[in-house]
Structure formats: C-alpha cells, structure tokens
C-alpha cells in the first residue's frame, strides 16, 4: 500500500502502517549550502518491511548536534505516524536506537530484536520465521542506499536539509515502486524459502 511519508521537517499526511516486521535505518551524507560555504550534513533515512514482504520508505531525519537526538526523533515520529508495533530494527547505532525505541516499542528489546545492519552481522540468533524478513530488509536498504548516494551526488549541494530529504523521498519512492512492489505471494515465497533453508 502507498503511505504518506515522514520528512526531515516533520510528519506529512495520514499515519504510517500500524506494524512493521523490520525497520532499517541508514545514513547518507549530503552537501548543504550555508552562509560560510558548503557543509556536509548527515541524513538518516528508514525503510520498513511489512508482514507481506513489501517495503515502505518511512522518511529521513536531519542529525542535530545533540547526541542521540536523531534516534529519539525517529522513535517519536514513527509512533506519532501511527506505527504501533516493531519487531526488529537494524541501524548504524543499535544501542542508541534501542534506547530511543524502548519507550514506545518494548517488544523490540524483548527477543534479541536489535541487529546491526552491517554486512557481517550474524542472523543466526534470529528465529527462522523472521530471518527472511531481515535478509529482505538488508537487501532493500543496501540497494536503495546506492541509489540515494548516486542521486545526491548527481544533484550536488542542496539549499537546505529539507531539500535533500525531498529528493531522497522521490528517489526512494520511485525505486521501491519499480523494484519492491511485487505481489505479496512472490515476496513471501522468497521469505519462506529462506526459512526452509535455515532448517537444513
């Protein structure tokens, strides 16, 4: 289903979906014009995987100087957007994410639910029924990351972080519609194969 998105400047439109099996958070460096020249800014962006295996772009957040503030913003915005349940979260700072999300999503911390998004992260401790979702989430995030980096590089410097967030949203939406909007049956078949392989 198509959903409204969160941008660097706050919520837009209707709530997000109520439940995501996995949410991945990634980081992108963009160049932003300032009074003293061009500066590099950090934008965190997130993708959620639904129980039918489809992906949703959830938005992006501008990192401030306050330590951990971006994780709190992500947690608060997801909750305010109508997300009621998260099972797994992957990102560059698992501890920071866990602390921020715990106030809203206590089940995220209950079953070794926080997994690093790096390529060498082990999913062995994850139940086979969920492993396929996390593998899918890593695939979507990895491929989308490359696309967003190319889009940012082609554009050059932005007038403000919000302008960069808008470009990321448009690029992510197009990519997800074209590559990760398969029928639920196709996606779940791949997830089922992953779970079956884990049993052997």
89 in any annotated domain? yes
Over its C-alpha atoms, the chain yields an Rg (Å, rounded) of: 17
Write the pLDDT tens digit of every residue in 110-162.
Answer: 333 444 444 444 555 566 677 778 888 888 888 889 988 988 888 888 888 88
Alpha carbon distance 33, 18 (integer Å): 37
pLDDT at 17: 85
Q: Is pLDDT above 50 for 163? A: yes
Q: Is pLDDT above 70 for 12? A: no
Alpha carbon distance 67, 21 (integer Å): 27
Alpha carbon distance 142, 167 (integer Å): 18
pLDDT at 192: 58
pLDDT at 115: 47
Distance from chain centroid for Cα 108: 15
**Is residue 88 a contact partner of residue 22, using CB atoms and an 8 Å limit?**
yes
Write the pLDDT tens digit of every residue in 79-96.
Answer: 888 888 888 888 877 778
170 in any annotated domain? yes
27 in any annotated domain? yes
65 in any annotated domain? yes
In what side-by-side order are the strands of the sheet with 85-91?
A: 10-11, 6-7, 55-62, 37-49, 19-34, 85-91, 114-116
Q: Is pLDDT above 70 for 29? A: yes
47 in any annotated domain? yes
| Distance (Å) of CA 123 to CA 26, 49, 51, 113 | 18, 16, 18, 10
pLDDT at 7: 41
127 in any annotated domain? yes
pLDDT at 10: 40
Q: How many domains does the chain have?
A: 1
Beta pairing partners, 27:
44
1 in any annotated domain? no
Write the pLDDT tens digit of every residue in 42-92.
Answer: 888 999 988 888 888 998 888 765 667 888 888 888 888 888 888 888 887
pLDDT at 124: 58
Domain around 152: 6-199
Mean pLDDT, rounded, of the chain = 74
Give the pLDDT band (50/70/90) at residue 193: low
68 in any annotated domain? yes
Residue with token string 């020249």:
37
């Amino acid at each position: 289903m198509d959903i409204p998105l969160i941008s660097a400047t706050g919520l837009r439109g209707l709530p997000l979906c109520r439940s995501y099996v996995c949410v991945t958070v990634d980081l992108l460096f963009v160049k932003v014009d300032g009074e003293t020249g061009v500066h590099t800014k950090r934008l965190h962006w997130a993708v959620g995987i639904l129980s039918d295996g489809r992906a949703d772009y959830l938005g992006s957040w501008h990192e401030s100087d306050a330590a951990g503030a971006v994780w709190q913003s992500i947690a608060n915005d997801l909750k305010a957007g109508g997300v009621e349940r998260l099972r797994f979260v992957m990102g560059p700072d698992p501890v920071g994410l866990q602390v921020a999300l715990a106030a809203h999503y206590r089940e995220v911390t209950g079953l070794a639910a926080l997994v690093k998004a790096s390529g060498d992260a082990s999913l062995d401790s994850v139940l086979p029924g969920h492993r396929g979702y996390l593998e899918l989430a890593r695939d979507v995030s990895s491929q989308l990351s490359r696309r967003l980096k190319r889009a940012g590089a082609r554009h050059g410097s932005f007038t403000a972080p919000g302008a960069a967030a808008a470009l990321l949203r448009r690029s992510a939406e197009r990519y997800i519609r074209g590559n990760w909007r398969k029928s639920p049956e196709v996606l779940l078949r791949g997830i089922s194969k992953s779970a079956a392989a884990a049993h052997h």
